[in-house]
Amino acid sequence: MLNGQTTCVEAVSFYLQRIAKNAHLNSFLEVYAEEALQRAKELDELQDGKVGKLHGVVVAIKDVICYKEHHVSAASKILEGFSSIYNASAVERLLAEGAIIIGRNNCDEFAMGSSNENSAFGNVLNAKDSERVPGGSSGGSAVAVQADLCMISLGSDTGGSVRQPADFCGIVGLKPSYGKISRYGLIAYASSFDQIGIFGKSVEDVALVLEVIAGADDFDSTVSTREIPAYSQMLNDANKKYKIAYFEDAINHSSLDSEIRSSIKSFIEELKDDGHIVEAVPFELIDYIVPAYYILTTAEASSNLSRFDGIKYGYAAKEDFDDLTEFYKKTRSAGFGKEVKRRIMLGTFVLSAGYYDAYFTKAQQVRRILFDTTQKIFKEYDAIISPTVPSPAFKFGEKSNDPVEMFLADIYTVFANLVGVPGISLPLFSHSSGMPFGLQLMTSHDEEGTLLNISRSFIKLNKVRNVEVNTTNIG
């Protein structure tokens, strides 16, 4: 491709073979084999001067991102047979720079879940251990990169749905600042939290894709209008020393696995030895984060998902009905899965007249306090580090019967979505269970350049520690 060592057709053929060989992982809901090969052939015929930044890069997209004239279902029965009539802005920009979209990835239904056990089309399996979850909701996208079924994949992150599966699968997962990447063409879960994110094997790969798909968009009024720098060209501060904060309450929280705690504490000491300033900062709000997040996101979901009623598209109940209300009830009861219905009902409850102030208003106040606290921290520190998850990938069924325990698996990731800052999960460690786990790094809003540079320096330090990290680049 760009380096002239292989052709786009050869690359696509390789990944199609890998996808077929690993079909049992259930990472893909649909593979665009003929289309991808045809596009690869066309790209191979281009002259060097006409190739884009992502020439021949093989990409998979989560099944909540619209791709014109292709099915998109949010892994839900209620969108059965629906095809998008337009491209998401992120997809449009990938294609404009020469990327090849090879298929759409399985996920938790409507991006609601932390284990990829909520898809209407079956579980995605972790390629490292098929008895364990890949994380969610973007589990299919994470496994596609983990198992070398594509070079890069796009997911969505409302409360950790890129960073958590990246952690469970041992790859890099980036959630940019809220508004960094246009949400046009992303099926909404919670509109003030949702953000398209990127999975890759290296920080360099993720940086290159970010600079392509980020930026202003007339179709999304919430997207930032700031000029997007060439992030891939900014990765040159590997030896710079940073001032980094961490929350002692997070590191010492009772839910955190002891091995993860020990590894992060050891890494903090190594960062200090390497010349970085790493300090604990007080943060007494950690136990308020998950409740505030689930109150607000379910409230937004109950509104966003009201559009799926079986009238204009998707699944519609076939029985005879006395009135339209009964039709809606039957359609939505059969079309939505259990987890989606649970969140719609919770969101409707917290928005109801008798409980709005007690729950929704209070959660908004907590969100504001979290935002203000974070702003103060970033006036003194370049970044915050924390665990990405409280435990390594768990086994299927281990948490699925206890919604509260499953919700608490998001304790460390939802913070970045509540306050809108960028976060990344870096694959730095290995657990005695044989599973990988990572470190979460966050910077101030719109500071992706700093985030990516610190990430690169952390991985460089980690290599010195002889921990195996796959950093195969797409460029």
Query: pLDDT per residue over 86-98, tens digit each?
Result: 999 999 999 999 9
Counting DSSP H helices and E strands in the chain, the numbers are 15, 11
Share of the chain above pLDDT 70, in %: 96
Which pair of tokens denotes residue 20? 């077929």
Task: Kindly report the average pLDDT of the chain as a whole number.
Answer: 94
Cβ neighbours for 373, distance < 8 A, ≥ 6 positions apart:
283, 285
Q: What is the pTM of this model?
A: 0.95
Residue 474: what pLDDT? 67
Q: Is 224 a catalytic residue?
A: no
Which is the catalytic residue, given 137, 156, 232, 457? 137
Q: Is 62 a catalytic residue?
A: yes
**Mean pLDDT to the nearest integer, 425-433:** 97
More confident residue, 5 or 294: 294
Q: Where are the domains of the chain?
A: 8-233
Q: Count CB atoms within 10 A of the CB of residue 125.
A: 23
**Mean pLDDT to the nearest integer, 437-456:** 97
Q: Is the pLDDT of residue 467 over 60?
A: no
Residue 4: what pLDDT? 59
Which is the catalytic residue, given 62, 175, 180, 399? 62
- Band of residue 401 on the pLDDT scale cut at 50, 70, 90: confident
For residue range 226-265, what is the model confidence (pLDDT) as tens digits? 999 999 999 986 689 999 999 999 999 999 999 999 999 9
Which is the catalytic residue, given 76, 114, 119, 161? 161
d(CA 158, CA 37): 33
For residue range 314-334, what is the model confidence (pLDDT) as tens digits? 999 988 888 999 999 999 999
Domain 8-233 matching CATH 3.90.1300.10: the answer reads: yes
Residue 469: what pLDDT? 42
Q: Is 161 a catalytic residue?
A: yes
Residue 174: what pLDDT? 98
For residue range 59-87, what is the model confidence (pLDDT) as tens digits? 999 999 999 999 999 999 999 899 999 99
